[in-house]
Amino acid sequence: MDYTHLGRTGLSVSRLCLGTMNFGPVTEVTDSHDIMDRAHELGINFFDSANVYGWGENKGQTESIVGHWFSRGDGRRERTVIATKLYADMGEWPNDGKLSALNIKRACEASLRRLQTDYIDIYQMHHVDRSTPWDEIWEAYEVLRTQGKILYAGSSNFAGWHIAKAQEAAKRRNYLGLVAEQSLYNLAARTVELEVLPAARDYGLGVIPWSPLQGGALGGILRKGDTHRSKDGRANDTLTANRPAVEAYEAFCDELGEDPANVALSWLLHQPAVTAPIIGPRTVGQLDSAIKAIDVELDEKALARLDEIWPGPGGEAPEAYSW
């Protein structure tokens, strides 16, 4: 496994991040524990979760599964950089969601209980809260950091402007601010190249792409004849809108002699801004397959061909659409 620093921090994380969203809703507890054990065997030390995972009446279930795994000891917690998120409503009462100081305090304490740990390595905001001022958000984060309950702050689904606003507010407070942004980013979804990636690079944030396979559309959906995907999901929407590109992509992966999923992950690993794509295996076998992406090398010719098949927005703003 290769490792890199998370953004401008001294924190070392694996080049692949284990996503836990399937733990509970899709993958049962025992199998989830097996996946996490296998991740450590493979050298993956970076795990991602969120308080809302489990969904519906089972919100918090995923963090609890991770916490149960931590409680088994044998260095599991110590060898894991755990990132989790807050923002979504966890109840029906006012202040059960978003980024007020009250909810930040309550949500953090609830995640700590479920995760069975006394600190969270990277506490991420799952979405921007336009109704809460940044001074309030950062004060709440500073308190948690002073108490030793969190180490770093991260964002998810922020626009470039949101990153700039957050960092300038943190700078005024002499606070470290954000160290990572978790965004939708893959060959078929490259909007973040306009402003999010430039902002992250300028402010020293690591970029953690979620849905690196576009819900499975980049994982060989045609060759697999995947019938397990939701007809309303991201994979099928992408296939419907971009079938010729998907066909060309899978044909090119055949030319390379590589699995489409691993090519998609490798492409992300070749992007300078990317720290670690999030992989979300449902089984140990899927994890073993995904790890192979680390060894997939794409030369300039291959990268150029992928750009032809999946053209991005044209580079950074404003040159992408102006001059």
What are the pLDDT digits (tens) for 72-110? 999 999 999 999 999 999 999 999 999 999 999 999 999
- The pLDDT tens digits of the residues spanning 266-292 come to 999 999 999 999 999 999 999 999 999
CATH number for the segment(s) 3-309: 3.20.20.100
Please tell me which residue in 3, 53, 123, 185 is annotated as part of the active site: 53
Catalytic residue check, 53: yes
> What is the reported pLDDT for 69?
98
Mean pLDDT of 162-178: 98
Q: What single-letter amino acid sits at 59?
A: K
Please tell me the pTM assigned to this model. Answer: 0.94
Q: Strands of 109-238 (E only): list them.
A: 120-125, 150-156, 178-184, 206-210
Q: How confident is the model at residue 71 (pLDDT cuts 50, 70, 90)?
A: very high
Residue 308 CB contacts under 8 Å (≥ 6 apart), including other chains: none
Residue 228 has pLDDT above 80, yes or no: no
Mean pLDDT of 121-148: 98
Q: Which segment of 109-113, 128-132, 223-227 scores lowest on mean pLDDT?
A: 223-227
Mean pLDDT of 209-234: 80
Residue 226 has pLDDT above 70, yes or no: no
Please identify which residue in the block is written with the tokens 């795990």. 47
